[in-house]
Amino acid sequence: MTTATGSHTVHNTNTACCTVPPVQSEYTPKGSFKSVGDFKKVYVTGESSANAIVCVYDIFGYFPQTQQGADMIAASLKTTVYMPDFFEPDAPFPSENFPPTTDEGKQKLQAFFGGTASPSAAVQKLTAFAQHLKSNGKQKVGAYGFCWGGKVSLASAGKSTPLDAVSIVHPAMLSVSDAEQLTVPLAIYPSKDEPVDEYVKILQEVAKKPFASRCDNKLYADMFHGWAAARADLTNQNNKEQFEDLYTRLAQFFSKNL
């Protein structure tokens, strides 16, 4: 969503997405970086299989917590999970500058959403990447995204999408219109910080779809925006347990639909 506020443009109106800081993790990712398709840098984890899953990270790019989740899904489903660098050749938003505390910092964040992290540009990249995977032998391709990446994943699942199932986790910029255009099964997992009314409206749209029985949803009511990706605090027992629950559900969802 893009709105005008004062002298600058606001591209992301999700307050939680713009205020909750990321945390560090001690995890060492198991995958490796490779050049795949049009991307020079893609985190690849797991083993080769008939299907594939694409992860769309949040605005902080590669983080151990996000990579750990990809490793968990890859191991559970015995498949390959790809995490492209959607921000190349630019950089992710600096975690040390987040959340912005000055007007200048806030403007830089919104400029990032309008440029490097433009959802429409990322949708084109995700679509092309999924098409590349299928043209190289993958029978089915799923995608899941966090925060900004959730917006990208859902917006990529409309008419003529090469994706076969998508999931959005504590998504930013929730849009009912994206759900209306949905043509493949969806799993949606918001936290307490996402707008409940939008979540309910999306569930209502999904219920109308012929594939509604293959969709999944859960509100993680005691979790915060970002708890399953870069902002996950895996030293906190409750966060750790909910993190594990989320990735179990993701694996089950993709197992059912791919």
pLDDT tens, residue by residue, 179-235: 999 999 999 999 999 999 999 999 999 999 999 999 999 999 999 999 999 999 999
Residue 173: strand, helix, or coil: coil
d(CA 21, CA 121): 25
What pTM was computed for the model?
A: 0.90
Helix ranges restricted to H, the chain: 64-77, 103-114, 119-135, 148-155, 176-180, 196-207, 237-257
What's the one-letter identity of residue 151?
K
Nearest to 51, CA basis, from 172, 127, 162, 189: 162
Percentage, residues of the chain above pLDDT 70: 90
pLDDT at 18: 45
pLDDT of amino acid 60: 94
- Backbone φ and ψ of 93, nearest 5°: -70, 130
| pLDDT given for residue 97 in this prediction | 84
Q: pLDDT exceeding 90 applies to what percent of the chain?
A: 84
- Structure confidence at residue 119 (pLDDT): 94
Name beta bridge partners: 145. Answer: 56, 168
CA–CA distance, 202 with 34 (Å, rounded to integer): 36
What is the predicted pLDDT for the residue at 25? Answer: 64
Question: Is the backbone of residue 226 left (phi > 0), alpha (psi -120 to 50) or beta?
Answer: left
Q: In what order do the strands lie in the sheet with 80-84?
A: 32-36, 39-46, 80-84, 52-56, 141-147, 165-171, 186-189, 216-217
Which regions of the chain are under pLDDT 70?
1-25
* Tokens linked to 67: 């990579």
Handedness of CA 217, 113, 45, 222 (dihedral sign): negative
Alpha carbons 157 and 209: distance in angstroms, whole number? 13
Q: Are strands 52-56 and 39-46 parallel, antiparallel or unpaired?
A: unpaired
Q: For residue 121, what are its two tokens?
A: 């540009």
